[in-house]
Structure 1
């Protein structure tokens, strides 16, 4: 078994494991047939493999073009958008702004291998696992004002880079007249543009930590393949300006993140695994409904990654969907009960530490998850999006699925063209004409079905949610 995760034995065969408590309440044949039906519904809702791959390709192109327009930072689209697992307006766009000309390194790294024009900070990891403090090791000839204004003397002759001051500096530099700023959330600077585009901007620094990544790569595992392990190892890490919640010195601490590596990992999950991931996130959002991020979608991601690492890949297929959903719910329940879930990249870090989960809420969530596990296949009826798809007639559902896929791809192409070219180029005009054609087709269908049509912008928004 891989290091960390949720400590319980797994014993899987090529068929759906028969010892699961899921099958003590529901026949295995019924569960497997329902699993197939759910996977079909998920695909029609935009969570199938083809749509996922198309989104990944478009966001990679968007990322590449954004990088060409910035002199001070590298942009990294992360989270569910980079993973291709959400519709265009379904969730926020997570974007790392990685400052150029700055590198943070582990102890033992030879500075002579780093160009002189790079600002170098040494990581002091003698804090909570997965976090560090940054000591100035070597100053470059020139440096960004945001870095200079965030330096502090520790009183012992060393210069530290304050995460809190750095976030303040970045927040001021990110302000734009066309953007509505929102309250900070950890290292994130949330904002909205044009009333519908919600995004989280996270300032970050490049981090060179080969020892930590080698420790991750050396684990015994079923997944991913050695080739992908090597690639993730080569992608490195980032530091984001946020300390451990329980620390007295969190304003000086930074958190290690492996966004590009995690995106690579999720992109190498198969369709069953990604659909389990999406449905667990739906359950978190629509059923548990955390108010203060006591449990986040990032917790769900780590549960799925541990699930993949600890079990043979051939056990994840359509007929086993509900088994793995049930398995994921059990892991989530265990994490809530024990307040313990190891971070997939650095198992010593507990993702549930300082979650702020209160006893009353904890008891309610445990009871809710227990009920959901007892419900078996019927648990999907708790999710509005899935329930609506089940009620819908097959022919209109197939039509709408096709329409939405094309419309979303056109919207992404629209954004790519606006980032990379003049807003009046011929390709963009063709894209916009086709978007209008699709909207009018939807309007006509709605009128035939007896629906009121008042606002094209609202229809556009609903298609992309």
Structure 2
């Protein structure tokens, strides 16, 4: 019998209250998420300005993933950056009116759904402007090089110039660019380990995934979804309308080991999903954060093919099925999410939230892994605290005698967020000067001289309480002492 069921109501309330307070201290609250959303929306504008300064073919840049959702704190999450080429358009059905009247597009493709898995399409060329002026002439050349003889666009070549394999065309200006570490292409993303301004002996990196994409006009998908959710407690009508009118993309990746994988492009609902997460109530935010911890520390060691994207879809479905999501307790919601995930693994069936005919449990999970996952989820469905107490963040919040580890974590978070909270014009200038630093020490010293001073003037988005309350010498001491004690491993990852 679970310890949870041996407790009286007062003990249960006290345990939930303690976990609730821990999550607030760790930054998983509606208020903190909203502040981070504004910071990373600003980061999108900053990165777009830098990208279009460095590359001559303009792209639209958006920070996605946990950071775009407002859920990422410190260095616990990668930074997903969408690089969208708006001069290339993809249509479910191309109207003659659009084709004749729009002269801004370099290339137009039609979505082809013959012999492709659910959620994917092939891109068949309809229009390509050979006479496009510089710099779009280089884009045309890349598109031509990726076309098959019958006009389908392959997904294994980089069309967008600002996403290059291994940074081969990146100019090496100073210490940061010479210490970039490029990873192997992973699906649609070019991974990069970007060195952060840190005390010299304790170098840390931010993992960035640059994702190439083209706009995709496919209104029937979101129209069908909108009709399904109309009248639900969650998402609200206001959020549903925003989602219905959000932009879709195609990204260059096919379903692994399927026929014609190299010709398939996945349809991405990233902006729609971000809108949904941003609409979460406090209970949903806390349940989402806790499920990510359980995923990382308990489920992934059992089966690497269980993903955060599956967890997100489980939370979407669980929230939609609630009659009144606003009144649900976060612990009760967590229990429902765990039970729903267990049922999906048992049935080997998890419907994609926007394309229900697509099965997200169509992955390589062995029978042994499946049995172990079901057994573990059954165990914690009675009392999730068993799993949560084994997560380093929760465990150490309960046991550390002082709060210096939390101060270190929050300081690292504020310093990184501060860089992305400055105005795009200032960011452009600072980023350019940082790239010219000739050593790790010069890189760190310049960052500390410029960035904290900017946020101290007006505390953008109301997020930077620690930086405002500490001098630069104090910040330096917090970082050095925290790294000496290993908090960068304990509190960031």
TM-score (norm 2): 0.78
Q: Structure 1 residue 122 and structure 2 residue 158: aligned? A: no
CA offset digits 1:334-358 (Å, max 9, x no partner): 22222211111111111111x1111
User: 227, 238, 245: which one pairs with 2:256?
Assistant: 245
In structure 1, the partner of 2:353 is: 344
CA contact (8 A) 1:43 1:49 kept: no
CA contact (8 A) 2:183 2:191 kept: yes
Closer, same or farther: CA 462–384 of 1 in aligned 2, 3 Å = closer
In structure 2, the partner of 1:304 is: 315
Shift of 1:139: 1.6
CA contact (8 A) 1:89 1:461 kept: no
In structure 2, how many angstroms separate the alpha carbons of the residues matched to 1:290 and 1:135?
Answer: 41
Closer, same or farther: CA 33–110 of 1 in aligned 2, 3 Å = farther
**Residues 151-162 of structure 1 correspond to what in structure 2 (within 5 A)?**
151-154=147-150, 159-162=151-154
In structure 2, how many angstroms separate the alpha carbons of the residues matched to 1:61 and 1:168?
Answer: 23
CA contact (8 A) 2:409 2:491 kept: yes
- SS of the equivalent of 1:352 reads coil
CA offset digits 1:423-448 (Å, max 9, x no partner): 4797536269957334356379x6xx
**Residues 382-421 of structure 1 correspond to what in structure 2 (within 5 A)?**
382-393=390-401, 396-397=402-403, 401=406, 404-405=409-410, 408-417=413-422, 419-421=427-429
In structure 2, the partner of 1:11 is: none
In structure 2, the partner of 1:147 is: 143
CA contact (8 A) 2:303 2:369 kept: no
Closer, same or farther: CA 265–329 of 1 in aligned 2, 3 Å = same
Of structures 1 and 2, the one with the larger relative CO (CA 8 A, separation 6+) is: 1
Closer, same or farther: CA 33–122 of 1 in aligned 2, 3 Å = same
User: 366, 369, 387: which one pairs with 2:374?
Assistant: 366
In structure 2, how many angstroms separate the alpha carbons of the residues matched to 1:72 and 1:186?
Answer: 23
CA contact (8 A) 2:346 2:374 kept: yes
CA contact (8 A) 2:194 2:205 kept: yes
CA offset digits 1:403-432 (Å, max 9, x no partner): 754552333222454633344797536269
In structure 2, how many angstroms separate the alpha carbons of the residues matched to 1:168 and 1:454?
Answer: 38
Shift of 1:88: 2.6
Q: Structure 1 residue 430 and structure 2 residue 453: aligned? A: yes
CA contact (8 A) 2:299 2:306 kept: no
In structure 1, the partner of 2:68 is: 82
RMSD: 3.1
Q: Provide structure 2 residue ranges, at least 5 long, that are not aligned to the other structure.
A: 196-203, 434-445, 456-466
Q: Provide structure 1 residue ranges, at least 5 long, that are not aligned to the other structure.
A: 1-20, 447-452
CA contact (8 A) 1:160 1:252 kept: yes
**Residues 177-256 of structure 1 correspond to what in structure 2 (within 5 A)?**
178=177, 179-194=180-195, 195-220=204-229, 221-256=232-267
Q: Structure 1 residue 131 and structure 2 residue 120: aligned? A: yes
- SS of the equivalent of 1:289 reads helix
In structure 2, how many angstroms separate the alpha carbons of the residues matched to 1:378 and 1:390?
Answer: 14
* Corresponding pairs, count: 427
Q: Structure 1 residue 165 and structure 2 residue 157: aligned? A: yes
CA contact (8 A) 1:93 1:200 kept: yes
Closer, same or farther: CA 460–109 of 1 in aligned 2, 3 Å = same
In structure 1, how many angstroms separate the alpha carbons of the residues matched to 2:94 and 2:128?
Answer: 18
Closer, same or farther: CA 462–293 of 1 in aligned 2, 3 Å = closer
Shift of 1:233: 1.6
Q: Structure 1 residue 37 and structure 2 residue 73: aligned? A: no
User: 306, 320, 324: which one pairs with 2:333?
Assistant: 324
In structure 1, how many angstroms separate the alpha carbons of the residues matched to 2:295 and 2:341?
Answer: 10
In structure 2, how many angstroms separate the alpha carbons of the residues matched to 1:324 and 1:72?
Answer: 43
In structure 2, the partner of 1:52 is: 33
Shift of 1:30: 4.1
- SS of the equivalent of 2:85 reads strand
